[in-house]
Amino acid sequence: MCATFQRELERILGSEGMDTVDALPMPTKCHKPSGNHSSIHSDCINKAKQKYGAIHIFRSGCGFGEEDRLPNDDRCFLHTERLCFYMLAERDIVDSLLLDGAYLLSSGWLSRWKFYMADWGMEREMAIEFFAESARKLVLLDTMVDKDSQRHLDELADFVRLPSDSVPVGLDFFRDYIRARLV
Same domain, residue pair 25 and 46:
yes
Same domain, residue pair 148 and 178:
no
Comparison of pLDDT for 36 and 130, the residue scoring more: 130
Mean pLDDT of all residues in 127-131: 95
- Enclosing domain of residue 136: 89-168
Give the pLDDT confidence score for residue 48 in this predicted structure: 66
Mean pLDDT of all residues in 159-163: 98
The pLDDT of residue 36 is above 60: no
The pLDDT of residue 39 is above 60: no
Same domain, residue pair 155 and 125:
yes
Give the pLDDT confidence score for residue 112 in this predicted structure: 93
pLDDT in tens, 64-111: 554 555 556 677 777 778 888 999 999 999 999 999 999 999 999 999
pLDDT in tens, 4-33: 888 998 888 877 666 677 777 776 666 555
Same domain, residue pair 42 and 104:
no
Total-model pTM: 0.83
Same domain, residue pair 8 and 77:
yes
Same domain, residue pair 119 and 47:
no
The pLDDT of residue 149 is above 90: yes
DSSP notation for the chain: -BGGGHHHHHHHHHHTT-TT----PBPP-TT--SS--HHHHHHHHHHHHHH-S-EEEEEESSS--GGGPPPS-TTEEEEEESSGGGGTS-HHHHHHHHHTTEEEE-HHHHTTHHHHHHHHT--HHHHHHHHHHH-SEEEEEE-S--TTHHHHHHHHHHHHT--EEEEE-TTHHHHHHHHHHH-
Give the pLDDT confidence score for residue 102 in this predicted structure: 97
pLDDT in tens, 46-73: 666 667 777 777 777 664 554 555 556 6
Give the pLDDT confidence score for residue 65 in this predicted structure: 53
Which range (1-5, 64-68, 119-123, 156-160) has the least confidence? 64-68
Same domain, residue pair 7 and 77:
yes
Give the pLDDT confidence score for residue 179 in this predicted structure: 86
Count of structural domains, the chain: 2
